[in-house]
Chains A and B, each alone.
Chain A
Amino acid sequence: MLLTLFGVSVIVFLVLRLLPGNALTSSLGVSAGLLSHAQIVALDHYYGIGDPVVQQYFSWLHAILTGNLGVSLESRTSVASLVGAAMPVTFELAVVAMLLGLLIGVLFGVFGALRPGRAVDVSGQSLSVIGLGVPSFIIGTGIVTLSAAVFHYFPSSEPFATLTSNPWLNSQQIFFPALTLCLGIGAAIMRTARASVLEVTGQNYVRTARGKGLSRHSVTWKHIFLNAFIPVLTMSGIQLGYLLGGTVIVEQIFVLPGLGRLLVESINNRDFPVVQSVTMIFATGFVVVNMVVDVLYAVIDPRIRNRST
């Protein structure tokens, strides 16, 4: 995991540092041309632009590992404070969206697969086509437009309220973006859950369980559901990547002051220290959650637990 994150940091660093346009000209804009040579050298030195690339990389790595994310070129405040303010918003959004997605996906997937071709299954399947095919920015724009034009309801127009300061407004502001995000991941989880439950239902041990007279409830939840859950878990881990990518777009639509919005703003301002940090945070979150997923396999499945010990 550490190796992966190390690699990610190298990729992010290389992509953003080695390609054209340096931090100095982008932060000063046109006025960069007015600087004297001595000033350019001094500023280059200040930002560390003149150093060899490898040295730049390691000084950056050292800095982020010691909690110093650098200074935003645009707002001249510390990146850590910008990120610290934005992170809880994205975290809340991602958690709510993931839970909603799991709820929708597992419910429709499991109940659909238990009675294939019936109403629940068909509505679940059609929902999954929509969830996979309609991009989140279209769903989001649709929700914003409809709620504003038809219902004259726009919770996003008010300044963002934190969960502690105004829980009611906060939940309204988070719910619709989370709903937008959850459809896509819900659809993917639903397909996996459905296929997995169908596969498990055909296994001999399920027939045996039914044959020895266990209640339908017990067969469904203890024999089918638990065995079918591992692929669902894997899929949820993968979907987190799409979810994190989706927050970037959805936060833009619903004007949430989260990491995604910060990222797009900093890309437009060519504020590389912020872009680097936010990308690293997203990647770290993704890697850590997938590691947790690996651990959960063992919690759910005793076969995996016993194999590893």
Chain B
Amino acid sequence: MTALAAPALAPGALDAGEPTAGHQGLLRSLWRSPNGRAGLVLVGVVVAAAIAAAFGGTPYNPLAQNPAALLAAPSWSHPFGTDQFGRDIMSLSLDGIGVSLEIACLAVLIAGVIGTIAGVIAGFLGRWTSAVIMRVTDMLFAIPAILLALIVVAALGAGWLNSAIAIGVGYIPIFVRVVRGPVLTLRESGYVMAGRVLGFSRRRLLFRHILPNVAGILAVQVSLALAWSILAEASLSFLGLGPPPPTASLGEMINQSASSGLAGIDWWTLAFPSVAIVIAVIGFNLLGDGLRDAIDPRTRKR
């Protein structure tokens, strides 16, 4: 009987893309979990800092050198102190966070788009394509991500865009794996089968039934990927392979402070850039955890 009644359903009635109560309450349940709340607050701070820096809202020009205030300790006029060129560390840190976030977003965009497409293809299409994609993913996965980023930067040369590409490439295999699993399961799920029986096109099944259900997992992964990318960007610039000066860079600031031996006496040259990185990385990590708790009711109980 139900099979006969099915074609009478309004088109789209079986589509999974409609927002449900669970979707509307996402932000609320994110706010309710301690991880999610801390993550939202920290990420909010980081994004605000980046926006402020992008619109020139830093207290000083980050690159302006002030010979009158070399290595000044934190004070009202320079809350984070100044570095060995007399540059204001607060302005440099804000600017550096902005640059980090830009590179991280671009890297995650690259990894997310390529990884998701490859993961969906590997999960949704035939056995052969899937096998090839997963093999290549295994190969990329066998090179530690930060190492892959290093050799890509070595080959492309240091720079803003090249850092983003290098970091993105390193994260592609994770997106492929994270997306492919659920797509495989969803392909065999009841409602996708039903859609197939109803003669929905592959495209419709993919975009209206499968992808919306992967969106949650993807959101978690994007947040974790941002955390990793910020960390990777800082590591690259710490090793001197980030965007070349005069671009402000937190990793570079830490390297300067540590290698010149300033860190031991003029502690603020090391402390504040480090804190900026840590806030960003922990923020996105916690946000990812919070999202996972909010989306997956199984982990929420714990």
A binds B: yes
Q: B154, B254, B286: which contacts A270 (Cβ < 8 A)?
A: B154
A211 on the B face (CB < 8 A): no
Q: Is the CB of B143 within 8 A of A282?
A: yes
Q: Is the CB of A137 within 8 A of B254?
A: yes
Q: Which size class do B's interface residues fall under?
A: 35 or more
Q: B142, B150, B231: which contacts A135 (Cβ < 8 A)?
A: B231
Query: A195: which B residues are within 8 A, CB to CB?
Result: 302
Closest to A184 in B: B231
Q: Is the CB of B150 within 8 A of A263?
A: yes
Which of A30-38, A54-62, A143-151 lines the interface with chain B?
A143-151
Min CB distance, A149 to chain B, in Å? Answer: 3
Q: Is the CB of A267 within 8 A of B154?
A: yes
Which of B83-91, B190-198, B203-211, B236-244 lines the interface with chain A?
B236-244
Min CB distance, B230 to chain A, in Å? Answer: 9
Q: A19, A148, A246, A253: which contacts B155 (Cβ < 8 A)?
A: A19
Q: Mark B130-156, 1 if CB is under 8 A from A, else 0.
A: 000001101111111111001111111
Q: Is the CB of B258 within 8 A of A282?
A: no
Which of B10-18, B56-64, B102-110, B277-285 lines the interface with chain A?
B277-285
B25 on the A face (CB < 8 A): no
With A135-B234, A267-B151 in contact, is A8–B143 under 8 Å at CB? yes
A226-251: which have CB < 8 Å to B?
241-242, 244-246, 248-249
Closest to A198 in B: B302
Q: Is the CB of B144 within 8 A of A11?
A: no
Q: Is the CB of B157 within 8 A of A21?
A: yes
Binding site for B on A (CB under 8 A): 3-5, 7-8, 10-12, 15-16, 19-21, 129, 132-135, 137-138, 141-142, 144-145, 148-149, 195, 198, 241-242, 244-246, 248-249, 252-253, 263-264, 267-268, 270, 275, 279, 282-283, 286-287
Binding site for A on B (CB under 8 A): 135-136, 138-147, 150-157, 227, 231, 234-235, 238-241, 251, 254, 257-258, 263-265, 267, 270, 274, 277-278, 281-282, 285-286, 302
